[in-house]
Structure 1
Amino acid sequence: MDAVLHSKLRTDADRLSEALDAMSKLFLAPKEQKQLRTFTSSEVAQLLRVSDGYLRKSHFDRKIPEVEQGPGNKRSYTAEDILEIRKILAQNAKDPLQFLPGRREDDKLQIWSTVNFKGGSSKTTTSVHLSQRLALRGYRVLAIDADPQASLTTFFGYQPEIDFRHGGTLYDAIRYNDGETNRVPITEVLRKSYFPNLDLVPGGIMLSEFETETPTALSRGEQPVFFNRIRDSLRQLEDDYDIVIIDCPPQLGYLTMSAVCASTSLLMTIIPERVDLASASQFLNMASGVLEVLHSNGGIGAYDNFTYLLTRFDTSISAQQDLAEWIREILGDSVIPTPFVKSSAVSDAGLGQKTVFEVDLSGSKNRKTYDRAIESINGIADDIERKIQASWGREVDDEA
């Protein structure tokens, strides 16, 4: 879908503002080394979109290598095992895209930025889980932490205030020249992660300098201008990835605008609560005005998707369910079908700087809670994967 972004944001903002006004009248009158866990046969079959029987037979016929077996001869797969199996199965498959679904020669790099005006909307949690799930699905993914708070970076096992005290973050790749220090290629700050198919460009407090330095750089006409800096840096590694996920800071500053201008799609997180909806409406109004100026100056053009994701969705609260339905009526197909449910599993995993994909669930008393959280996250990633494939002119076959 090709559209002018600021026009869509203005329309969505107006619709939300009108609906919020109507709602008011109606209701207000009265360092540890990180390691990835292993995966079960059923999980791997789901990731590969094949049946359990197909996977077992492929092992039996020695089409794919055997993996470690635990109690009861149950197979246990590492992420490296899954990636190797993908490559083997793709070689003889009628449709190799089932197993290696990434870009082909004429497909453009998909760059998704997660945005919101305020913190606490699960923006970073969404970004890291989406990045990991897409990597497990066989895509080459780059996660970029554009937030000075660097929460995304901590999920990868780093302590930004210590590990990147003297540099090594996105800031080095987009900074302005000061006569002594120049920006470096983004490949110099890229970090391979413990998660196969998933790399990181770290964030850190120095990114806040970009916000304060940009007005001065604009006054002296330094090129490239701020809104082209992330986009230009990504051209250096465009052929190395299928998907880039950028976690933006919770504000509409120069960093967010640079990420937005680099993006092919945007994902805005919204908590289905009235205060957060009002904030979302304000964000859209501000963004539409700013992006209109950027559009007129060549900063942003066509985009594939502007989508909304309902986050911290509590299925036990009827008011949230009503608001979620109301949001879908207003914003329509722009809302991702699957919501990110509020779950203690996500919170508990986050306390250990882990995602639900990293927690070892063997013998866990909270297995059902984790399973529900994983189901929600998988659904979100599958919804977004369909949009990514559609941008490449393809469809995702959900049948195993």
Structure 2
Amino acid sequence: MSAAPKLDAATEETPAADASLERIRRLVRVADGILSSMRQIADERQRETSGRRYKLTEVSEMLDKSVDAIRRAEAAGLLPQPEFRPSGQRLGYTLAEVNRMRDHFGRRPWRAADDEPVLLAVQNFKGGVGKSTIAVHAAQHLAERGYRVLIVDADSQASTTTLFGFNPDRDIEVEDTLLPYLIGDRADGLGYAARATHWDGLDLIPANLGLYSAEYIISQQVKGNVALLSRMKTGLREVARNYDVVVIDPPPALGMISLSVLQAANAILIPTPPSSIDFASTAAYLSMLEEVVETLVETLRLPVAYSFVSLLATKITPAKGAHEAMREVMGHCFGRDILPTALLDSAEFDTASVEMRTVYEHDGATTKTHKRCRNNLAAVMGDLETQIRRTWPSYRAALRAEGIA
């Protein structure tokens, strides 16, 4: 029997390659379809709820003003009249309305004009530590408190952008991301990329997969001019003049964008879960951070200064003794360099993300699980807010005047 004729490499591989590519294309189409459905559900629920509304008693606490004072201001025409349900009950106040009240009563927590805006990088080089979740919830917490906030998605995976209800590769053009500015195609600042979100006082610079090309382009450009690593610093510090806090979500790896973020930031928050493996990764990140900052400052002569570098224990399950033990060790060893409150693990984060929302937006306020998660978030973000405010000389002076500092 004669041997079967041999096919050349091109003949053998082409059908398999074509089939593999088609499988991948089909998976892409299915994934895009799921994301579109999730986005549609999120949009419908956003329209139904018109965003969160705050009860009068909640607003009273947020403003530190009595209910009667708010009612008197409304009755005198100093504040817009509240909306009412058909039943005669107050509909509640939007965040924009709450902020108008803050303006009227002088209750904005803004930095003084000569205080430096805080550019906070939420960073760890290990994925899965809750980096984007923490960045978005921090930004929304601060916006709810009345600060002017910009959140910058510097990660081509675009998780932060997705949590604001966008399908990054359908809704966001690469020209609307950091990319054009970082590679030098635009020299007019980063204002072009900042867009308003459905949170009053909170703007977003979005990302999509195209941002990843910045890694290659910048690496080629800086070979001839290391100072180009300062582009992000220049752009963010200029746009930050319009905000109190800029929250930056960088990639979970050391590349050109992460290096740019480390130079641009003036504060760092490092999320770390309580397992020994995750903590080892955090220790490696800290060691690498030391080496990178040393290189930026001493070798490349690029100035870097952080008002604080703090750790945050994340994904803690109280029922797990090992988690509690690790958190106790971290607290004892790091002292003031770790936030006092740990972020507890909660199914609420996953439940909300399915709807492209955050815990702050998810309508689950009646459940005990949701309330526990919200209370824990309030404590964690309250710790972070205190860290941020203590960087401002005007705040420290106010504390001293009250005999607190």
Q: TM-score, normalised by structure 1?
A: 0.82
Structure 1 position 288, deviation (Å): 1.0
Structure 2 counterpart of 1:319, from 308, 318, 322: 322
Taking a change above 3 Å as real, the CA distance of residues 75 and 165 of structure 1, as seen in their structure-2 partners, is closer
Structure 1 counterpart of 2:175, from 167, 170, 173: 167
Contact 2:119–2:245, Cα closer than 8 Å, also in 1 = yes
Taking a change above 3 Å as real, the CA distance of residues 235 and 266 of structure 1, as seen in their structure-2 partners, is closer
Structure 1 counterpart of 2:80, from 49, 65, 69: 65
Match of 1:197?
Answer: 201
Distance in 2 between residues matched to 1:164 and 1:62, nearest whole Å: 42
Contact 1:311–1:339, Cα closer than 8 Å, also in 2 = yes
Distance in 1 between residues matched to 2:64 and 2:255, nearest whole Å: 41
Taking a change above 3 Å as real, the CA distance of residues 295 and 48 of structure 1, as seen in their structure-2 partners, is same
Q: What SS class does the counterpart of residue 268 from structure 1 fall into? A: strand
Match of 2:14?
Answer: none
Per-residue deviation, residues 186-216 of structure 1 (Å, max 9, x unmatched): 1111111111000000112122112122231
Taking a change above 3 Å as real, the CA distance of residues 235 and 278 of structure 1, as seen in their structure-2 partners, is closer
Taking a change above 3 Å as real, the CA distance of residues 109 and 85 of structure 1, as seen in their structure-2 partners, is same
Match of 1:390?
Answer: 390
Taking a change above 3 Å as real, the CA distance of residues 345 and 53 of structure 1, as seen in their structure-2 partners, is farther
Q: Does 1:301 align with 2:301?
A: no
Distance in 2 between residues matched to 1:170 and 1:314, nearest whole Å: 36
Structure 1 counterpart of 2:264, from 262, 265, 268: 262
Structure 1 position 167, deviation (Å): 2.4
Taking a change above 3 Å as real, the CA distance of residues 36 and 224 of structure 1, as seen in their structure-2 partners, is farther
Alignment length (residue pairs): 351
Contact 1:345–1:370, Cα closer than 8 Å, also in 2 = yes
Name the aligned partner's letter for residue 44 of structure 1.
V
Distance in 2 between residues matched to 1:202 and 1:315, nearest whole Å: 35
Per-residue deviation, residues 120-176 of structure 1 (Å, max 9, x unmatched): 111111111110110111110000001010000111221111122442111122124
Per-residue deviation, residues 89-125 of structure 1 (Å, max 9, x unmatched): 11xxxxxxxx111121211111100001111111111
Structure 2 counterpart of 1:40, from 39, 55, 63: 55
Distance in 1 between residues matched to 2:94 and 2:172, nearest whole Å: 29
Taking a change above 3 Å as real, the CA distance of residues 41 and 286 of structure 1, as seen in their structure-2 partners, is same
Contact 1:229–1:258, Cα closer than 8 Å, also in 2 = yes
Match of 2:238?
Answer: 236
Structure 2 counterpart of 1:123, from 122, 131, 142: 131
Contact 1:252–1:287, Cα closer than 8 Å, also in 2 = no
Per-residue deviation, residues 263-297 of structure 1 (Å, max 9, x unmatched): 11100001111110011111111121111100112
Name the aligned partner's letter for residue 135 of structure 1.
A
Name the aligned partner's letter for residue 339 of structure 1.
A
Q: What SS class does the counterpart of residue 256 from structure 1 fall into? A: helix
The structure whose residues are more often helix, as a share, is 2
Q: What SS class does the counterpart of residue 329 from structure 1 fall into? A: helix
Taking a change above 3 Å as real, the CA distance of residues 294 and 166 of structure 1, as seen in their structure-2 partners, is closer
Contact 1:174–1:183, Cα closer than 8 Å, also in 2 = no
Q: How does 1:1-400 map to 2 (within 5 A)?
A: 31-32=39-40, 33=43, 34=46, 35-50=50-65, 55=70, 59=74, 64-70=79-85, 73-90=89-106, 99-176=107-184, 181-182=185-186, 185-221=189-225, 224-226=227-229, 228-296=230-298, 297-361=300-364, 364=366, 366=367, 368-393=368-393, 394=395
Taking a change above 3 Å as real, the CA distance of residues 318 and 219 of structure 1, as seen in their structure-2 partners, is same
Structure 1 window deviating more from structure 2 (127-136 vs 250-259): it is 250-259
Structure 1 position 338, deviation (Å): 1.6
Distance in 2 between residues matched to 1:166 and 1:282, nearest whole Å: 33
Q: TM-score, normalised by structure 2?
A: 0.81
Contact 2:182–2:218, Cα closer than 8 Å, also in 1 = no
Distance in 2 between residues matched to 1:58 and 1:310, nearest whole Å: 43
Name the aligned partner's letter for residue 155 of structure 1.
L
Q: What SS class does the counterpart of residue 222 from structure 2 fall into? A: helix
Structure 1 position 48, deviation (Å): 2.4
Taking a change above 3 Å as real, the CA distance of residues 235 and 274 of structure 1, as seen in their structure-2 partners, is closer
Query: Structure 2: which 5+ residue stretches go unaligned?
Result: 1-38, 400-405
Name the aligned partner's letter for residue 388 of structure 2.
I
Q: What SS class does the counterpart of residue 167 from structure 1 fall into? A: helix
Name the aligned partner's letter for residue 265 of structure 1.
A
